[in-house]
Copies of this chain bind each other. A is one copy, B any other.
């Protein structure tokens, strides 16, 4: 009883659970679980990106507030980077060799992630999938274990499955965002729903839970920055990006520009002017 009392007193004093993976309440999450989710084909254009050291090096960029990887990469590489990289343990994930119903294996326990030094967990939920109920219960276990370790919780909220015709419609993405709030995420990663208004809707229904935009497949610097700027203006707290960074020969320029847009509240034009990112659309 005394323990519970103490706990609750502490609870109200402790900093926000996602402090470790944000800066000024904003986040730029570099995600690098594509080797599991998509396979080595994602590294084909920039072969060096197959080497985790290459991408761990990118993650040391000041703009990156957290680096999301699966357990194997964290075990083998994070000990060499723990002073320079904030580890976000992406707990679940599945290869695309798999043809079954959308699902995601829980490949990593929270306890193990905490032992390895992770500051937060990442967890995919496929709302609307046949396995939604099971995934939500796995998320519950992970979320509550994360709280026991004072770790932040990021939900990859990706509605998917037979009942969903257009998984980036405004109402679906707003629902995805709300699921993060309802189920206990500190940050919800959603796909960009195609317009500022739809993005605003998603942010408006997220309450205290932060929303970050998913980077998606590779586009030009300008196009990408403009979408991020729009999302930030609509209320997003940042970005979770993978291919748009590591599929570039030199990711630094884009990260410099993203830092301007996300943390310095600069426009795309200002960011392009201030950095060496490409100024033209391809």
Contacts and interface: CB of A to CB of B under 8 A. Distances in A.
A204 to B, nearest CB: 6
A139 B173 CA distance: 31
A98 B132 contact: yes
Interface in A1-60: 4, 7-8, 11-12, 33, 35-36, 39-41, 43, 47, 50-53
A181 B207 CA distance: 37
A185 B72 contact: yes
A128 interface: yes
Given A43-B205, A51-B207, A175-B95, A112 B79 contact: no
A235 to B, nearest CB: 12
B178 A35 contact: yes
Given A7-B115, A72-B185, A99-B161, A174 B39 contact: yes
A171 interface: yes
Contacts of A238: none
A39 B157 CA distance: 14
A107 B130 contact: no
A183 interface: yes
A51 B207 CA distance: 6
A170 B25 CA distance: 44
Given A137-B106, A185-B72, A207-B51, A39 B112 contact: no
Interface string A119-143: 0000000011110111011011001
A11 to B, nearest CB: 7
Q: Give me the 7 closest cross-chain CB pairs, A-B, nearest first.
A: A97-B128, A99-B163, A105-B136, A72-B184, A39-B175, A36-B182, A40-B205
Given A99-B128, A99-B161, A107-B183, 11 more contacts: A4-B114, A72-B180, A72-B182, A72-B209, A95-B128, A98-B127, A98-B128, A105-B137, A105-B140, A106-B140, A109-B140
Contacts of A179: 36, 95
Interface of A: 4, 7-8, 11-12, 33, 35-36, 39-41, 43, 47, 50-53, 70-73, 75-77, 79, 93-95, 97-100, 103-109, 112, 114-117, 127-130, 132-134, 136-137, 139-140, 143-144, 147, 159, 161-164, 171-172, 174-175, 178-185, 201, 204-205, 207-209
Contacts of A139: 107
Given A39-B174, A100-B130, A183-B107, A144 B112 contact: yes
